[in-house]
Amino acid sequence: MAEALKSEDIGMKRGRVLAQLTPARQLDIIAEGLPILLKSADELMAAAEALDDHSRAAAILIGQATEELSKILILVDIVRCPPKLRGGLVGQMFKWFYDHLPRLLYAEAQGWEPMTVGQLQEYLDNSRRSHDIDGFGGEFIMPNSTLFARENRLYADIITHEDGEPMWSEPSDWLPARFGGRRTSIWYVAKALSDIGAFSRAGLDIVSQVWSAVDFIGEIECYSLPRSLTQQMLERLHAAGLISQNAEQSQLQYLYNQWQVPMYRLDFKPIQVPLEDLRAAQEAALRSEIGDYGDY
């Protein structure tokens, strides 16, 4: 690893340097980080659970924990990426690692059920638009709902709508989707991966060897194949004696049903939607709701 050449090379948000490392060294660093990220998320979740009388503060902590968990799954997708492709994709994936929208969409995507990787990209395209229409007949133009929910939990702010008139927006206590208690589905996925030994250094070798046999792109299907690879991974982790005593049979449902296929080939960049496109969509939505009012 080369020494720092400028001050910007020193400090946080330096994950992209993994692109300069050998595949084995990349897994060394990732194995060190996965338990740290899970511990960070657990601490935030535990703090949220102690705040029953402070719903907004709890929602903020759950949101932060969810983004930490998304960072786990981004790292695991780096591991699942074929090593011959990894060097060219790691830099982009670490942009996702440090960007709120990709992290939030990683969490949302765990529950999606696409037929193919191409369809998964279509789902993602709908969720990365900068703005969309909402309300009866598309009467409102709204910013990206995923990002807006995050910002609206954290901050009071001045906002404007189409008329340009400024108004104050009060913070909300909107909560991410949960499965029992305050734990999100992405937490159960990450905890299951940890408990089956996938976060250990030897476990990451197995994850890589099993999943990197397939390049998840285009028309690769998203049901039978990933279930088969998950089964192979579990069998090899078991044979290697890596599955923790904490692991429970019930955790398998999250690996089979909530863990999304690898997303290293997908595009998470925001799509900036022009105002004229949004107004055209409003017109089309209104016509769909009440018919061609121009005939009256």
The pLDDT tens digits along the chain (296 residues) read 567 767 777 888 888 888 888 999 999 999 999 999 999 999 999 999 999 889 999 999 999 999 999 999 999 999 999 999 999 999 999 999 999 999 999 999 998 999 999 999 999 999 999 999 998 878 889 999 999 999 999 999 999 988 899 999 999 876 654 544 558 899 999 999 999 999 999 999 999 999 999 999 999 999 999 999 999 999 999 999 999 999 999 999 999 999 999 999 999 999 999 999 999 999 898 888 776 555 54
- Give the closest residue to 169 by CA, choosing from 156, 179, 181: 156
Token reading at 188: 């159960």
Range of the domain at 188: 15-128+177-257
β-sheet bridge partners, residue 271: 129
User: Does a structural domain hold residue 279?
Assistant: no
Position 5 scores a pLDDT of 67
Measure the CA–CA gap between 56 and 73, rounded to whole angstroms: 26
d(CA 196, CA 178) in angstroms, rounded, equals 22
Residue 63 domain-assigned (yes or no): yes
Model pLDDT for residues 165-183, shown as the tens digit of each residue: 999 999 987 665 454 455 8
**23 and 83 Cβ atoms separated by less than 8 Å:** yes
Residue 62 near residue 44, CB atoms below 8 Å: yes
Give the count of domains, the chain.
1
pLDDT value at residue 99: 97
pLDDT of residue 1: 59
Residue 249 lies in a domain: yes
Is 294 within a domain?
Answer: no
| Helix 55-80 with 145-154: angle, nearest 10 deg | 130
C-alpha distances in Å from residue 162, one per residue of 139, 152, 159, 167, 199: 10, 19, 10, 12, 48
Q: Does residue 74 sit within a domain?
A: yes
Is residue 121 in some structural domain?
Answer: yes
The answer to whether position 161 is within a domain reads no
- CB crowding 84-111: b at 16 or more within 10 Å, else e: eebbebbebbbebbeeebbbbbbbbbbe
Q: 46 CB contacts (<8 Å, ≥6 apart)?
A: none
- Beta strand pairing status for 131-134 and 140-143? antiparallel
- Give domain status of residue 135, yes or no: no
What pLDDT score does 147 carry?
94
Per residue, what are the HEC states of the chain?
CCCCCCHHHCCCCCHHHHHHCCHHHHHHHHHHHHHHHHHHHHHHHHHHHCCCCCHHHHHHHHHHHHHHHHHHHHHHHHHHCCHHHHHHHHHHHHHHHCCHHHHHHHHHHCCCCCCEHHHHHHHHHHHCECEEEECHHHCEEEECHHHHHHHHHHCCEEEECCCCCEEEECCCCCCCCCCCCCCCHHHHHHHHHHHCCCCCHHHHHHHHHHHCCCCCCCCCECCHHHHHHHHHHHHHHHHCCCCCCCCCHHHHHHHHHCCCCCCCCCCCCCECCCHHHHHHHHHHHHHHHHCCHHHC
